[in-house]
């Protein structure tokens, strides 16, 4: 399996991307195609004890920065590391692409260069968030801010399929993120979406479990949580912030004095498990579901370990056969409702 690596995207590029991809290669057995400034990539490879001649490197010194217009990836900076990586993916030079770069640009490029699966109205960025039951898939968490009920219904169907095929959840429970658990709660978009998902549940298309309030997200009652990209992104980043806050409190608590330090030492293993469950670096990235090729968005501030996790996630995504399943479940040119 060949993973295409956007070596220049992200806050810690190219070190984190090259080192993380190498770690994934050694641990999970994939091949790599780096896209970025050749001299920089080769330097890091040599520092890691690797022979640059043994790796495919597509040179470009053009970088698409996080604060730039996303449409530059298709017009103006198509020769950037992200643009070239998407072109290579489209041409079949790799099985999946992993990038820490501009989220909007990656979505734009994925939809306009590699294209959506026919029949998919909008792609969704899907992220696994921690819960008491081990994790829930949140989609959309940043790809499509403005949604209608049809988009959200399709997110529910795609998310349910992904949870089954990739995360291996049996009959995943689907919830609609809302400001109340009752069927009558929410704005018109949420009410219309609820009606559609309830009907889909009764028809056996999904296992619809009703509305999901933000406070219930981590309790484990839902395996798939559906939201528009604006709301989902706020929820996800709010959870990341709370995780950092809790980690800070724990550090302050256990380093307060000699007694608490001893307690911390005795609980070191359990504290490590808790931190790992809250750490985005363990998951690595989020797939763009609905795209005709495997595209994984790694965190913009990903370090080498987080990027290694994202590459592993890309491998799992390809091996699951999810995209072929999606193509068979959403007939080309037809709406979700048949």
Tens digit of each residue's pLDDT, the chain (338 residues): 999 999 999 999 999 999 999 999 999 999 999 999 999 999 999 999 999 999 999 999 998 888 888 889 888 888 899 999 999 999 999 999 999 999 899 999 999 999 999 889 899 999 888 888 878 999 999 888 889 999 999 999 999 999 998 888 899 999 999 998 888 888 999 999 999 999 999 999 999 999 999 989 988 899 999 999 999 989 988 887 877 787 777 777 777 787 777 777 776 666 666 656 555 555 568 999 999 999 999 988 889 999 999 999 999 999 999 999 998 887 644 444 54
Q: Could you tell me the domains of the chain?
A: 1-120+290-338 (3.40.718.10), 125-282 (3.40.718.10)
CA 214, CA 300: separation in Å to the nearest integer? 25
User: DSSP letter string over 8-53?
Assistant: T-STTTTHHHHHHHHHHHHHH--EEEEEE-HHHHHHHHHHTT--GG
58: CB partners within 8 A, 6+ apart:
33, 34, 35, 36, 84, 85, 88
Q: Is 310 in a helix, a strand, or coil?
A: helix
Other beta carbons less than 10 A from residue 144's beta carbon = 22
């Amino acid at each position: 399996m060949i993973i295409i690596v956007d070596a220049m995207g992200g806050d810690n590029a190219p070190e984190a991307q090259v080192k993380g991809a190498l770690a994934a290669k050694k641990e999970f057995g994939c091949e790599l195609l780096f896209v970025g400034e050749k001299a920089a990539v080769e330097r890091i490879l040599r520092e890691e004890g690797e022979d640059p001649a043994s790796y495919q490197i597509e040179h470009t010194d053009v970088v698409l920065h996080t604060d730039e217009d996303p449409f530059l990836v298709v017009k103006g900076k198509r020769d950037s590391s992200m643009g070239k990586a998407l072109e290579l993916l489209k041409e079949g030079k790799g099985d999946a692409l992993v990038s820490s770069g501009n989220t909007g640009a990656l979505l734009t490029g994925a939809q306009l260069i590699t294209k959506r699966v026919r029949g998919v109205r909008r792609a969704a960025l899907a992220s696994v968030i921690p819960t008491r039951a081990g994790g829930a898939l949140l989609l959309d968490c940043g790809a499509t801010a403005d949604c209608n009920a049809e988009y959200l219904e399709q997110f529910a169907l795609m998310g349910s399929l992904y949870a089954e095929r990739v995360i291996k959840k049996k009959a995943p429970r689907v919830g609609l993120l809302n400001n109340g658990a009752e069927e009558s709660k929410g704005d018109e978009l949420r009410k219309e979406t609820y009606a559609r998902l309830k009907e889909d549940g009764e028809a056996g298309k999904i296992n619809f479990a009703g509305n999901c309030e933000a406070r219930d997200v981590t309790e484990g009652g839902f395996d798939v949580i559906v939201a528009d990209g604006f709301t989902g992104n706020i929820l996800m980043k709010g959870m990341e912030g709370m995780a950092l806050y809790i980690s800070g409190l724990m550090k302050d608590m256990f380093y307060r004095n000699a007694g608490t330090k001893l307690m911390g030492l005795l609980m070191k293993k359990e504290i490590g498990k808790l931190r790992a469950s809250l750490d985005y670096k363990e998951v690595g990235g989020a797939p763009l579901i609905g795209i005709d090729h495997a595209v994984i968005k790694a965190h913009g501030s990903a370090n080498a370990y987080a990027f290694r996790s994202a590459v592993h996630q890309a491998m799992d995504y390809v091996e699951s056969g999810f995209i072929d399943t999606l193509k068979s479940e959403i007939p080309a040119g037809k709406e979700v409702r048949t």
